[in-house]
Structure 1
Amino acid sequence: MMTNLFSTFDPTTNLFNLPINWLSSILGLMFFPMYFWFIPNRHMLIWNNTLKYLHEEFKTFSGEFKGATFMFISLFSFILFNNLLGIFPYIFTSTSHLTLTLSISLSLWLSFMIYGWLNNTQHMFAHLIPQGTSYILMPFMVLIETISNIIRPGTLAIRLSANMIAGHLLMTLLGNTGNSFPTFLIFILIFIQILLLTLETAVAIIQSYVITMLSILYSSEIN
């Protein structure tokens, strides 16, 4: 029984005191053996073409990092699988929690910062002051750029988790009110739920692409 509306996202459901809910994060691995053991079907061909398109697009933004596109494609696939699996009933949406999203964004941001400050220190200092800034505004611009750089992992994590929570919360709210609706309104409610499910599918795909693209843009700034 839900104590409140947000308890839908509570990851405390367990079996033998084990957090079974978090196993949903690795359910996407079950889709990969099809690459190795079966002849590629239409779904696999569509997925392969999608990855090829993303590889070419990510390569234009990743800059001098050789092979970085494979890391970002893996990030895109991981977030996409978790977002889409969270739409299915009784599957825990791991990307709706800051535990996962902040771990991903913070680890990426720290690796970019450490690499940038160790290898391109002069460029990192120059990036704090935009070109053409007057001498009077330089201290303020350094402060603003520093703050905006520090909050980047938090904004990435909150953006993903908030978008995942918002749609699921609305679907849960409408679903819980269905018991009090008259019969003729149930069909309208089902139609609205189908529209919301379609919207959530689009949001899951778009957010995985947005998070990956923002990570690539942040990494390109340290070159």
Structure 2
Amino acid sequence: MMVNLFSSFDPTTSLHLPLNWTSVILSFVLIPLSYWLIPHRTMYLWNKIISTLHQEFKTLIGPSSGSTFIFVSLFSLILYNNFLGLFPYVFTGSSHLVMTLTLALPLWLTFMIFGWINNTVHMLAHLVPQGTPPILMPFMVCIETISNIIRPGTLAVRLAANMIAGHLLLTLLGNTGSLIPKSILIILLLTQILLLILESAVAIIQSYVFAVLSTLYSSEVT
């Protein structure tokens, strides 16, 4: 029985142990099985998606700026966890800032360290946009610095907030099923199905946005 509306996002179980986080590592158990099976249409479709993402990320990064494997893997990890959270009684790891910050902060910090050590002049030039009047340069440096510092926070909060919002709406509507007349129950079911389709689209979009923004941040330091 639910204690409150946010209890579905609680990583602890009735044993007071954070066992719900095991849903995050299920990918390491399920995904490698595909490498030992005969290729099928689903695998061909997934390989096509991966190839398309690779080409797009390569365009964003540039031909001489490194590999896109880390961003494709990041997209796959977030997408898997987002979709896994749509199943009943499955904990959504990507709805917690603990996980999203763990993904965003090390990436951003690595980009910043690499950029300031290897391309210091280029990083300093990013703090003052081209064409800025001299009197506004100190203000633009402050604004760009703050904007750069909050990037990992915005990445993490955007993903977590979008996952929580849709799941809360589905939970809220699902809990009202036993309280409404049977005559309008079909409307509730149709609404739930539409929201589930919308959440599936949000799961794809948010994983794509996270990976693309990470790619753009990496392209700015080279």
- What range is the shorter-chain TM-score in? over 0.9
Alignment partners' CA distance in 2, 1:70 and 1:37 = 21
- Taking structure 2 as the reference length, the TM-score comes to 0.96
Alignment-derived partner of residue 215 in structure 2? 216
Match of 2:12 in 1: 12
Per-residue deviation, 1:2: 2.6
1:23-172 to 2 correspondences below 5 Å: 23-63=22-62, 64-67=64-67, 69-172=68-171
Q: CA deviation at 1:30?
A: 3.0
Separation in 2, partners of 1:62, 1:14: 46
In structure 2, C-alpha distance between the alignment counterparts of 1:140 and 1:222, rounded to whole Å: 22
How far does the alpha carbon of each residue in 1:164-206 deviate from its partner, in whole angstroms, 9 at most, with x for none?
0010000000001111111111111111101111000000001
The answer on whether the counterparts of 1:14 and 1:21 sit within 8 Å (CA) in structure 2 is no
Q: Distance in 2 between matches of 1:14 and 1:179?
A: 25
Deviation string for 1:2-60 (max 9, x for gaps)?
33212221112154x54210011111223323332111111111000110111111101
| Contact 2:8–2:91 under 8 Å retained in 1 | no
Does structure 2 conserve the Cα–Cα contact (< 8 Å) formed by 1:14 and 1:20?
no
Amino acid at match of 1:120: N
Change (3 A) 1:81 1:205: same
- Deviation string 1:52-107 (CA, Å, 9 cap, x unpaired) is 1111111011133222x000000000000000000001110000000000111101
Q: Distance in 2 between matches of 1:32 and 1:170?
A: 30
Query: Residue 131 of structure 1: CA displacement?
Result: 0.7
Identical-pair percentage: 65
Q: Whole-Å Cα distance in 1 between the matches of residues 112 and 181 of structure 2?
A: 57
Q: For the residues of structure 1 that align with 2:114 and 2:14, how far apart are their CA atoms?
A: 39
Q: Report the RMSD for the aligned CA atoms in angstroms.
A: 1.1
For residues 33 and 157 of structure 1, the distance between their equivalents in structure 2, rounded to whole angstroms, comes to: 27
Q: Which runs of 5+ in 1 are unaligned?
A: none
3-state SS of the aligned residue for 1:136?
A: helix
Q: What code does the residue aligned with 2:65 have?
A: F
Please give the per-residue CA displacement for 1:131-160, whole angstroms capped at 9, x wherever unaligned.
111110000000000000000000000000
Task: State the alpha-carbon separation in 1 of the partners of residues 58 and 146 from structure 2.
Answer: 28
